[in-house]
Amino acid sequence: MASFLTGPWLERHGPRFPALLGATLYMIGQALAALACHIQSLGLLYFGIGVVGGSGLGISYITVIMTLQKYFPDKRGESAAYATGGFGLGGVVGSLMQTPLLQKTTVANTFLIVMCVYAVIQFPVAMIFRFPPEGFVPPVNAQDRARAAMATNAPAPPATPAEHAAKHESFVKDALSLKYILIYLVFFTSIMSCLVTMPQIADIAINMFHKSASLAGIIVSANGFFRLLGKAGFAVISDYFGRMPILLFSEILQVVALLFMLIGFHVGNFWLAQVGLFICGLGFGAGFGVLPAAISENFEPEIASSLYGLSMTAWSVAAVGGGILFNVIFKHDKAAGTPASRLYDNNIYWLFAISVLGFACAAAFMVLDRLSKVAAAKPKNTAVVAA
């Protein structure tokens, strides 16, 4: 929700203040979490790390992503790879940093130490954030880079009320367009399977396959690596093969992953099931890595941040709605005495349907995009013939 609300504001005022606000909220969230642990308040913990810290995280995330998209219009996939990959890598590094801290000090102190480390990095970096000037072209040599640096430091003139109204009208029109709705649904379906199975990874390893907690921890970390690989790798590849073909491929990956999981559970093959979960992580990463470039390429730069922020609501809906549905079905099947090897069947079946829907939406977008390009080329061809 924070990303959605930040999008229009980001376009109007630039990235520096949102970056500073995001960092500040995230630090406040860490501090509140530390206080909650000290006074043993679960409600304050949820509010601090969930509401306040989560809002800061969402603001920071969209600010970095969309700023890079504006600086690298010729390499949108690669720039998204750096941003989304950095987001994933931050989680891995953070978990590696927190584990030894928790062994040496209290949970409250761990939150405070992490807050200070992040603050030392985030605040100085946020101060140098700015959008490139209008009409910016990526520099190709040292002289161009010097001119670009001077132009970037020049303040942009504030938009007039009429310009704000025009941008709002354009945002509403594009948000309701079939092209955007298809992109939204493709992103929603590409991340659903991983979002609802990710919290189950350790439980599957320990309770279904009777593996040790240490091995389950390694599997969870490995799954995080595959999500990171999907974000960075597929984002870069999309610069060469196109955004929607990669997203369509991510939907195929989801179907393959679910099939591997289903067979692995049924035959009791632990590693076959894990391969399915790893592939699921790759598809999840592809959705996140390719989405920024897909939106930036298909819509005007002035409203791309707003549309990307709106797309982040799919993340929330998939995580909350999909998670609730997954748990309701799982608990019902468990209460009905379903064997352990079949406990996830009904959930996998509806996830199959979600992935097929995503495949259909991606294919429909590619057909629609092709038809629009053909229609746009017809007047040009006619003019050439007439000349």
DSSP string, 13-69: H-SHHHHHHHHHHHHHHHHHHHHHHHHT-HHHHIIIIIIIHHHHHHHHHHHHHHHHH
Highest mean pLDDT among 16-20, 75-79, 317-321: 317-321
- How confident is residue 144, by pLDDT bands cut at 50, 70 and 90? very low
Over residues 24-34, the pLDDT tens digits come to 999 999 999 99
CA 324 to CA 22: how far, in whole Å? Answer: 28
Give 258-288 pLDDT, tens digit per residue.
999 999 999 999 999 999 999 999 999 999 8
Which residue type sits at 337? G
Both tokens of residue 67?
Answer: 């700023």
pLDDT score of 195: 93
The pLDDT of residue 151 is 44
| In the predicted structure, residue 155 carries a pLDDT above the cut 50 | no
- Which of 353, 347, 311, 303 has its CA nearest to residue 329? 347
Contacts (Cβ under 8 Å, ≥6 apart) of 178: 368
More confidently predicted of 79 and 136: 79
Distance, CA of 387 to CA of 383 (rounded, Å):
6
Q: Residue 309 pLDDT > 70, yes or no? A: yes
DSSP letter at 268 equals T
- Could you tell me which residue, 150 or 56, shows the higher pLDDT? 56
Asked if the model's pLDDT at residue 13 lies above 60, the reply is: yes
The CA distance from 267 to 247, in Å, is 31
CA distance 355 to 163: 40
State phi, psi for 258 to the nearest 5 degrees: -65, -35
Confidence tier at 35 by pLDDT (50, 70, 90): very high
What is the average pLDDT across 232-253?
92
Average pLDDT over residues 32-46: 91
- What average pLDDT score do residues 7-16 get? 74
Helices (H) and strands (E) in the chain, counts: 15, 0
| 139: confidence class by pLDDT, cuts 50, 70, 90 | low
**Percent of the chain residues past pLDDT 70, beyond the cut:** 86
| pTM reported for the whole predicted model | 0.79
Token code pair at residue 283: 């598809």
Give the model's pLDDT for residue 284: 93
Helix, strand, coil percentages, rounded to 5, for the chain: 85, 0, 15
Q: Per-residue confidence at 159, pLDDT binned at 50, 70, 90?
A: low
> What pLDDT is recorded for position 146?
47
The pLDDT value given to residue 150: 47
> Is a pLDDT exceeding 50 seen at residue 153?
no
